[in-house]
Amino acid sequence: MKTAKKNILLLPMLAFCSFLVGFDAIATVPLLPAISASTDMPMRSGGLLYACYAAAYAVTAPLMGYLSDRWSRKGILLIGLALFGVSTALMGTGETFAALIFFRILTGIGAGMVEPAVYAIAGDHYAYEDRGRAMGVITAALIASSVVGVPIAGAVGEMASWNRTFRMIALLILLALAVASAAIPKRRPGQAGHGPGREAPAGSPFRLVFANRSVFFSLLGSLLYFGALQGMFALAGAYYFTFYGLGSGETGLLLMAAGAASIAGSLLGGKWADRRRKSRVVAVASLAAGVFVFLLGLMTFNLWVSILLHVLWAAFYAAGQAAFTTLVSELDPSARGTVLSFNSSAMYIGAGAASGLAAVLLQAADFWAVGLLCGAANALVVMIVLTVIRERRTGVGSSHNNNRTGKSG
């Protein structure tokens, strides 16, 4: 059987799948005017397309992660990619708002099968000392989807049509399905087979999560960490318009610069996590991100200062995200799919809650309050990873809890 190091297609394929999940999720953003013009969808209701996608993802992911632990990660990924691709293609045929909502729900279900399986497969096939780098590459691909996805979707929609944009994405997903079918080994490293005879976590997925103190608090940490990002990120357009009078085009360029910093931060954070205790990497990155996002909300007197703070915030956030995902993947190797799928759902819940709370704070106070909220969430993450989460060191395909604690390198 091929190992991760010999299988040169595995990591690029997993990263490509992650990229497509992010690309499909945000493709509706630049296409809303065109979709509204050719269907009965009200422009102001366009946000429901993403909301339904995210809700379906958050509900689906935990169940699919649990099934991937008991059955086959490859099987879950391939079925998810098939559903993901077909529903995205159907999205390009939608003529009514109701049909579009239905297709986005199906797409969210497919994405909820794909993304947790991607991270779980990476956790299975990469050794402890290489796992951070692999997670960093996959996280960087997800971030890259938001950097290049919006302009690509907008350009294709402008030159062709919004329908063809989704058909293009569907073709890319089907390409990923073909590559994944060939690239992913049938069996996980260190396991003799699949099915009922294979070692799998016992009990319901909720019992697996809530019975493990480290897992439970890591999910709380992910909720806070991703919420700390989305709370300010969702208001970036309003921030730069309010203080500096920038339009959507100028703000888009700034967000692309921050996205590029995030990609670099994710790659470096993954490598850093392979050389140091992952909990310490998360703590340092979260503390730095918290300081920079608080200063971003407070220091609004100079555009270049704001840009610098934004770029630094994005880079440190992404570095911590790569390390955090790696840390979570090692807490319970026998239930890796379940844990990572709950982690994905926690991130979406945190993003939604923080976005709503930030909007309320902005109305009641100002951006400094939003920055303070996000910075406080990052501080809580530091406390959680340093005092509650027990870091474990696990090898390729490990199905057992290895009691060796990861040491600083």
| Mean pLDDT across 395-406 | 44
pLDDT 10s digits, 85-124: 999 999 999 989 999 999 999 999 999 999 889 988 988 8
Total structural domains within the chain: 2
pLDDT the model gives residue 168: 94
Residues 369 and 288 in one domain: yes
Does 296 fall in a domain?
yes
Residues 216 and 321 in one domain: yes
Is pLDDT at 399 greater than 70 in this prediction? no
Spatial CB neighbours of 87, under 8 Å, sequence gap ≥ 6: 103, 106, 107, 109, 110
Residues 25 and 155 in one domain: yes
Question: What is the SS3 string spanning 116-150?
Answer: HHHHHHHHHHCCHHHHHHHHHHHHHHHHHHHHHHH
| Mean pLDDT across 188-214 | 58
Q: Are 313 and 23 in contact (CB under 8 A)?
A: no
pLDDT 10s digits, 311-347: 999 999 999 999 998 888 888 877 888 888 888 888 8
Q: Are 239 and 250 in contact (CB under 8 A)?
A: no
Residues 177 and 211 in one domain: no
Residues 173 and 295 in one domain: no
pLDDT the model gives residue 287: 96
Residues 102 and 159 in one domain: yes
pLDDT the model gives residue 30: 77
pLDDT the model gives residue 403: 39
Domain range for 168 is: 10-183
CA 390-394-398 angle, to 5 degrees, is: 125
Does 403 fall in a domain?
no
Select the highest-mean-pLDDT range: 211-220, 236-245, 283-292.
283-292
Closest listed residue to residue 29, CA positions, set 127, 118, 151, 188: 151
Does 374 fall in a domain?
yes
Does 408 fall in a domain?
no
- What whole-number distance in Å separates Cα of residue 326 and Cα of residue 346? 16
- What whole-number distance in Å separates Cα of residue 329 and Cα of residue 343? 9
Does 188 fall in a domain?
no
Residues 268 and 318 in one domain: yes
pLDDT the model gives residue 13: 94
Given 183, 213, 244, the domain boundary residue is 183
Does 106 fall in a domain?
yes
CATH number of 74's domain: 1.20.1250.20
Alpha helix positions (H), 71-198:
73-91, 97-125, 128-159, 162-183
pLDDT the model gives residue 42: 85
Residues 213 and 177 in one domain: no
402: pLDDT confidence band, cut at 50, 70 and 90? Answer: very low
Residues 155 and 239 in one domain: no
Residues 167 and 210 in one domain: no
Does 191 fall in a domain?
no
Residues 45 and 155 in one domain: yes
pLDDT the model gives residue 313: 95
210: pLDDT confidence band, cut at 50, 70 and 90? Answer: confident
Given 126, 153, 183, the domain boundary residue is 183
198: pLDDT confidence band, cut at 50, 70 and 90? Answer: very low
Residues 336 and 306 in one domain: yes
For the ranges 25-39, 152-166, 185-199, the lowest mean pLDDT is seen at 185-199
pLDDT the model gives residue 359: 80
| Helix (H/G/I), strand (E/B), else coil: 234 | coil
Q: How far is CA 363 from the centre of its chain?
A: 28
| Mean pLDDT across 170-182 | 94
